[in-house]
Amino acid sequence: MLNARSKCLPRTTPRFRRTSRGWRGFGNRPHNNNTNTRVAVSPYAYRRQQHFLRSIATVTTLGAIASAWQWYSGDRIFREAHAEAPSTEPELEFEKPRRKAVSKEDNRDLISSQHVQVKKSWENPGVYAWGSNSGRVAAPDSDDEFVKTPRRIPFFDGVLLRDLKLDRNFAAAIDDKGDLLQWGTAYSKESQQPTHTLRGKNLTALTLSRDRILALSATGTVYSIPVSAAAQQTGPKPVSTSWLPFWRTPSPLSYRVLTPPNLS
């Protein structure tokens, strides 16, 4: 028999580890919340998947259309590649050195082309003209628009001139007899060479305006002559006197005599 006085051993109770409040709350969540979360996420993933598929279909369709159009237009999809040729540097061309002059006169000829022209004009005297020929002044017998090099006017070969004036559409000169010559389209479109107009006035110098020619005679008289041949024929013609009394003849062309004031 057991002794009544014997001590009874205390009952041991199992101890469980206490979990934190946070973990306890997570573990105590009902299972229904997880089910609701899966239901909420599934439509969003589905929409993303559909958007991705539509993007792939759109890109594929556009690529097919572009390839078909390129094939229809005749262009190759894959073109042949060629290596570029190396660029060649342009060769510099330097001016050739001028030859050495043997004399001072030869040096003038090398420096100035005008000096050469003057020398040739002394050897072969005449009238040389160049530039715009729209008014047939530089070359009365030619229809060239420009005369690029000095061209001789054959009419003045062997003719001495007292004065010469050139304009764009007409020109005038005074020969060694003092007679006036005119040419150019402003004078007459049918004229192919200089023509004598005012004669017997012993002219020495002249100047040009837009539509008239002013000529000075050896006696100091100033004559104003129209440029146009038609105006010379239709304008007022002065009457000239002769050595015979009561004998007057009209001038063959129209002109005016100018008397500048305050001349002594």
pLDDT 10s digits, 70-112: 777 765 555 566 666 677 777 777 777 878 888 887 887 777 7
pLDDT 10s digits, 170-184: 999 999 999 999 999
Segment of 78-92, 147-161, 222-236 carrying the highest mean pLDDT: 222-236
Lowest mean pLDDT among 34-48, 94-108, 127-141, 153-167: 34-48
Cα–Cα dist 25/19, whole Å: 10
Cα–Cα dist 212/234, whole Å: 15
- In the predicted structure, residue 122 carries a pLDDT above the cut 60: yes
Q: What CATH class does 104-258 carry?
A: mainly beta
In Å, how far are 123, 133, 235 from 189, measured between CA atoms? 33, 13, 19
Q: What is the pTM of this model?
A: 0.54
